Structure 1
Amino acid sequence: MGNAPELIVMLTHNDLTVHNAYDIFDQCRNSRAKFWGFKEEPLPLEQMKKLFRYMKSCGKTTFLEVVAYSEKECMDGAKKAVECNCDFLLGTTFSDSINEFCRLNHIKYMPFVGKITGRPSVLDGTVEDMIQEAKTYIAKGVYGIDLLGYRYTDDATRLNREFVANVNAPVCIAGSVNSYERLTELKSIAPWAFTIGGAFFENKFDGTFQEQIDKVCEYVNRQILP
């Protein structure tokens, strides 16, 4: 896409929203991150709505990522995204019904591709099949794709690189971005965005939560000298 990838700060650990997500956002609302989100579980809906309202009042772009595999569960997650007035719905196994629901409610939809199991999620499938799957969804009008690249059971670097190069839509590399080595790869691959959640809670980037966010933002935007 030509620009440095955007960090989406996820207030999640092990694919679940942390109980003190509101307090963490409050402490970090003045960080360099513009994109913020969390998962559909386990916070009560009213707490989710309150936190998303606060994020929007601070000028943030908001994301709900739904880790679900049946159409009913995925639609339940999409309905939460609408009730929370989110800008983006990440995740879900694609279905035409959710795609249409998001279109009617003016939410940008970025579904998963590949065979996904478990929570935390694991990704399986061939690179070629996932690229073709993405192209099918994009032809149906989705905004982009949520790719669990570093959760892939095979060569994650190859998947991420070939997927971004061959999919003509925004790609979010979601999950397990937990080192400067992977950030360097992402700068080279240049997806639209990537998520970090658990790595911040595990202090993989060394500092307070806000210090880690700002370090990552600075790193991905730093020019690489020839």
Structure 2
Amino acid sequence: MGFKDIGLPFGELLGLASAIKAAGATLYLEVVSLDEESERRSGQAAVDLGVDILMGGTRPNVVLPIIAGRNIQYYPFPGKIVGHPSKLDGTIETIVDSARQLAAIDGVSGLDLLAYRFNGDVEALMTRVCEAVEKPVVVAGSIDSPERMAAVVRSGAAGFTIGTAAFNGAFSGSSNLRLEIEKEIDVLMRIKADAGDIALSPLTSG
């Protein structure tokens, strides 16, 4: 479970982080802003919050020295990220090349792929990136239907995040977050059972 690096005041993020850790969950922090200074702040926030996994951002050279020695896994974005909400720019080839370069960096634990923010063949992109690197790929952004969830599973991704879709009740039609998450898990298990593989787990972030 996790949250983005903007929104709540930092003191409240500390409380939320403590509650997530106390519940025994893995704690994720997702970088939203993409300028160098904000990534530096996000790296420091990851340290101060005691997160397990830091996701997003595009500057390993800025973030890795900050989290060095802190037992924090780091999953940056491959490709060119533009605008808010974030879009993934470029071609499949340029994004795959970026993924290879990032995955080759010591200290990069995996990749955070904004696949459904790409204006192209999304399933081909996911599959190509997953095939191109040996480190885990997490798909983030706009996983809001069983069809998209199934495409992520077929691609070979290690996981995916659901944030806004969960709060909007995209799978259950309910405003009850617990019911929505239970429905998402049920849909995922059915997809995995149909595929003969039940290893992948959703990474739910808000």
TM-score of the two chains, using structure 2 as the length reference? 0.87
Q: What 5-or-longer segments of structure 2 have no aligned partner?
A: 197-206
> Residue 219 of structure 1 is aligned with which of 184, 187, 190?
187
Q: Describe how 1:21-100 pairs up with structure 2 within 5 A.
A: 36-100=1-65
Contact 2:78 2:102 in 1 (8 A): no
Moved more, 38-47 or 129-138: 129-138
State yes or no: 1:102 paired with 2:70. Answer: no
Q: What is the CA distance between 1:167 and its match in structure 2? A: 1.6
Aligned partner letter, 1:224 = D
Which of structures 1 and 2 has the larger relative contact order (alpha carbons within 8 angstroms, sep 6+)?
A: 1
State yes or no: 1:115 paired with 2:85. Answer: no
Q: What is the CA distance between 1:103 and its match in structure 2? A: 2.6
State yes or no: 1:191 paired with 2:157. Answer: yes
Aligned partner of 1:202 in structure 2 is 168
Aligned partner of 2:134 in structure 1 is 168
Q: Describe how 1:5-24 pairs up with structure 2 within 5 A.
A: none
Q: What is the CA distance between 1:100 and its match in structure 2? A: 2.6
Q: What 5-or-longer segments of structure 1 have no aligned partner?
A: 1-35
Contact 1:71 1:95 in 2 (8 A): no
Q: Secondary structure at the match of 2:194?
A: coil
CA distance in 2, matches of 1:123, 1:56: 31
Aligned partner letter, 2:142 = S
Contact 2:79 2:99 in 1 (8 A): no
Pairs aligned (count): 191
Aligned partner of 2:199 in structure 1 is none
State yes or no: 1:178 paired with 2:144. Answer: yes
Contact 1:68 1:93 in 2 (8 A): no
Aligned partner letter, 1:120 = P
State yes or no: 1:151 paired with 2:140. Answer: no
Aligned partner of 1:20 in structure 2 is none
4+ residue segments displaced more than 6 Å:
none
TM-score of the two chains, using structure 1 as the length reference? 0.80
